[in-house]
Copies of this chain bind each other. A is one copy, B any other.
Amino acid sequence: MKKSIITISREYGSGGRMIGKMVAEKLGISYYDKEIIAKVAEATGFTEDYIEKNGEYSPSKSIFAYSVVGRDRSGSSMNDYIFSVQRKIILEIAEKGPCVIVGRCADDILADYENSLHVFVYGEAEEKIKKVMASNHVSEKEALKLMKMTDKKRSINYNYYTDRQWGKAQNYDICLNSSAFGYEACADIISEIAK
């Protein structure tokens, strides 16, 4: 396989996680998502729920608040600590062998990693809202709010811990509109390129 480490960044509701799972199955390689949460929880002593809420999302919708919240005298915050442990675990996972890693700034952490393929998955708002409504059993209005808030918090976290802008095409090797192709076709495109 030419590209053995595949990172998938995604908009909320775009099916990036599902596409990542399909790619791992098609290529017969490991898939990491919730497993990272468990590893970080174990290493830090926090609950998995706390890591899930803080390992990829800013606690605030303001980049300024995020940069000052919860800092001790050394200038470190709890989120900085979680991020550094998570970073180390992602590097260890990549060392183990071929895999798909979803989210968690893995594209930036493994940017210079040889044989890596960095993917961004996005979609049309209309279709993403339908998916979020169905999977979260919420109204259209609530789905839109949830979608905006989640992507906002993901982008603040990403922009803060990397020197990049979340979702900017230039960070990735390939960006795919899952509404244009469907999940299965996106997984096929990624798998074919990886091969």
Interface size class on chain A is: 10 to 19
> Interface majority SS on A: helix, strand, loop or mixed?
mixed
Q: Which of B172, B185, B189 contacts A175 (CB 8 A)?
A: B172
The smallest C-beta distance from A179 to any residue of chain B, in angstroms, reads 9
Enumerate chain B residues within 8 angstroms of A37, measured Cβ to Cβ: none
* A59 contacts the other chain (CB 8 A): no
The smallest C-beta distance from A125 to any residue of chain B, in angstroms, reads 9
* A44 contacts the other chain (CB 8 A): no
Nearest residue (CB) in B for A178 is B173
The verdict on A176 contacting B177 (CB below 8 Å), with A122-B169, A169-B168 known, is: no
Bits for A161-195, please: 1 = Cβ < 8 Å to B, else 0: 00000011110111111001100010001001100
Q: In the complex the two chains form, is A173's CB within 8 Å of B167's CB?
A: no
Enumerate chain B residues within 8 angstroms of A120, measured Cβ to Cβ: 169, 175
| Bound Cα distance from A66 to B189, whole angstroms | 40
The smallest C-beta distance from A5 to any residue of chain B, in angstroms, reads 13
In the complex, 11 of the A-B residue pairs with CB atoms within 8 angstroms, ordered by the A residue number, are: A120-B169, A168-B169, A169-B169, A169-B175, A169-B177, A170-B177, A172-B175, A172-B177, A174-B175, A174-B180, A174-B189
Q: A167-B169, A168-B169 are in contact. List 16 more A-B contacts (CB 8 A).
A: A117-B180, A120-B169, A167-B170, A170-B177, A172-B177, A173-B176, A173-B177, A174-B174, A174-B176, A174-B177, A174-B180, A175-B175, A181-B193, A185-B193, A189-B193, A192-B192
